[in-house]
Amino acid sequence: MQQTEKISKDNENIKKLTDALSTYTQKQTEALGSITEIKQKQYENNYNIQVIQQKIDLYSQDKCPTCGMSFSTDSVKDLKTKLFNLKVEKDNITIELNGQLEKANADYNAITEYIGKLNTAIYQLNSDIQQLTAQNSALNEQLKNNAEFQGINNIINNTTKQIEDINKQLSEDSAKLKELQTLAIVYSIDGVKQKVIVNYLPILNKELFYFFHFILPP
């Protein structure tokens, strides 16, 4: 009974853990998606920084190496200022994206670790259920064998009781048969003759002796 209750409880816990596993697997997928998205933004931002840096390097020269235009004009200086500011903005985005990626990786690793613990717990519970099921089967088999053994003992005990009753009845019947045989002998013809000879013949002899010696004349 305890094994059955434990198996039922373990199955309930497995259901809860499986539901949690499904939830955290979804979170893991979402975290991986976030990592992929952040890396894509990093790639695009790094590309923009590279392009901006190339332009800054270009306008840092005195003149255009292709057409020879001077880069000392106010418009070019204004453009270089905008490029520097844009580079700073992109560098800040790099720092922000790096922080986001670090957090996303930490979240992903924590979720993955927790999923591992859930899988371990589910595996352990399944192992416990298998062990308890085996113990329960062995116990049921033992109870079955005990029931069969008890049944055989009951049959033996009942049979022994019946034999004792039969022997007792045989003993009583033998005593009665002996009495009947004695009566049969007594009341048979030979028995009656024997009884007459034993009980009445001596008396008859005495009477005859008396008659012949004292009653009849000499």
Q: How many helices (H) and strands (E) does the chain have?
A: 4, 0
Residues 156 and 192 in one domain: no
pLDDT band at 131 (very low <50, low <70, confident <90, very high): confident
Mean pLDDT confidence for 9-37: 93
Residues 135 and 182 in one domain: no
Distance CA 18, CA 121 (A): 10
Q: Which domain holds residue 44?
A: 2-162
Higher local confidence (pLDDT), 121 or 170: 121
Residues 190 and 92 in one domain: no
pLDDT band at 218 (very low <50, low <70, confident <90, very high): low
State the CB neighbour count (10 A cutoff) for residue 25: 14
Q: What is the dihedral of CA 36, 42, 44, 45, to 10 degrees?
A: 160
Residues 82 and 121 in one domain: yes
Higher local confidence (pLDDT), 34 or 65: 34
Residues 187 and 157 in one domain: no
Among 109-123, 133-147, 166-180, the range with the most confident prediction by mean pLDDT is: 109-123
Contact 56, 80 (CB under 8 A): yes
pLDDT band at 169 (very low <50, low <70, confident <90, very high): confident
Residues 179 and 145 in one domain: no
Decide: residue 28, CB within 10 A, 0-12 exposed, 13-18 middle, 19+ buried.
middle
Contact 38, 97 (CB under 8 A): yes
pTM for this model (two decimals): 0.56
Residues 87 and 61 in one domain: yes
Distance CA 41, CA 47 (A): 10
pLDDT of residue 34: 95
Residues 184 and 76 in one domain: no
Mean pLDDT, the chain, as a whole number? 82
| Interval 186-203: pLDDT, tens | 555 555 556 656 665 677
Mean pLDDT confidence for 92-117: 96
Distance CA 211, CA 216 (A): 6
Q: What's the CATH code of the domain at 98?
A: 1.10.287.510
User: How many domains is the chain built from?
Assistant: 2
pLDDT of residue 32: 95
Percent of the chain with pLDDT strictly greater than 70? 71
Distance CA 164, CA 102 (A): 91
Mean pLDDT confidence for 18-42: 95
